[in-house]
Amino acid sequence: MTQLPIGEPVPDFTLPASNGEQVTLSDYRGKNVVLYFYPKDMTTACIQESCDFRDANQEMLSLNTVILGISLDTVKSHQNFIAKKELPFLLLADTEHAVCELYGVWQLKKLYGREYMGLVRSTFLIDTAGKLVQEWRKVRVKGHTQQVLEAVQQL
């Protein structure tokens, strides 16, 4: 698993976004970024997590912080997810899991004795200079957004 050192710059990347454009992480320098990786659009836990971030979005924006979600889904899938759940932030399509690998969230998973590679739900808080402030790996959705919000408030 790739370990990203706290206080060091995070890997930059460019991915297709739900707005139909290419988004580059470094374009957000000057703002804090909550970068959350989630397994799949329109699944129970991912809906809950995304809606929790949606509900915290205004407060995050007031704290100079943008939210970006990343999954393996296509841009079209992201657009449908945003429309159904009224998500106010961009979702990025990492269909080849290259960024997931950069951030160490593409890992061996086990389910009912079966092993497979998959995206492990994780969140990274990046400061205005592009440095990692905090990370949450193997996230449990309940209460997670509040933890992230409290960390943002400390910046």
User: In this structure, what are the phi and psi dihedrals at residue 97, rounded to the nearest 5 degrees?
Assistant: 50, 25
Maximum separation of any 2 CA atoms in the chain, in Å? 45
User: In this structure, what are the phi and psi dihedrals at residue 47, rounded to the nearest 5 degrees?
Assistant: -65, -50
The token pair that represents 43 in the structure block: 């699944």
Strand partners, 126: 33, 132
Which of 34, 46, 82, 99 is labelled catalytic? 46
Please confirm, yes or no, whether 46 is among the known catalytic residues.
yes
Element (H, E) at 33: strand 32-37
Tally of residues, the chain: 155
Tracing tokens 């429309």 back to the chain, one arrives at 83
What residues are annotated to the active site? 46
